[in-house]
Amino acid sequence: MADITVSELKKRLEAGEKLNIIDVREPWEFEEFNINARLIPLGELQGSLDSISDWKDQEVIVHCKSGGRSAAACDFLSRSGFTNVRNLEGGMLAWMMS
């Protein structure tokens, strides 16, 4: 599992790249601030694998508030057959401070 920095992700989004980004925070956190990622709270990830199965061989970027939940999600996705999973270093806290 490779991490991705906030600056790298911002550059790619600004360039208009179509990215598969999953936000594993809770809905209330997503409502406060989000980067238009697909919201799948960590507790619902296992039951949502079918909805993202077409991403298995694509790059998938996962983020949360600070990086802990997304690291757990990345580990789970990797063990579930996803081949290119990346964790956003520092999560949304780092995003807002950059």
Query: How would residue 6 be classed by pLDDT, with cut points 50, 70 and 90?
Result: very high
Domain of 19, CATH number, reads 3.40.250.10
pLDDT at 1: 63
**Across the strands, what pairs with 2?**
86
* Residues spanned by the domain of 79: 2-97
pLDDT digits (tens, 9 = 90+) for 53-63: 999 999 999 99
Query: How would residue 2 be classed by pLDDT, with cut points 50, 70 and 90?
Result: confident
pLDDT digits (tens, 9 = 90+) for 66-96: 999 999 999 999 999 999 999 999 999 999 9
What are the residues whose beta carbons fall under 8 Å from the beta carbon of 31, sequence distance 6 or more? none
pTM surpassing 0.95?
yes
How far, in Å, CA of 58 to CA of 90, rounded? 22
Number of domains in the chain: 1
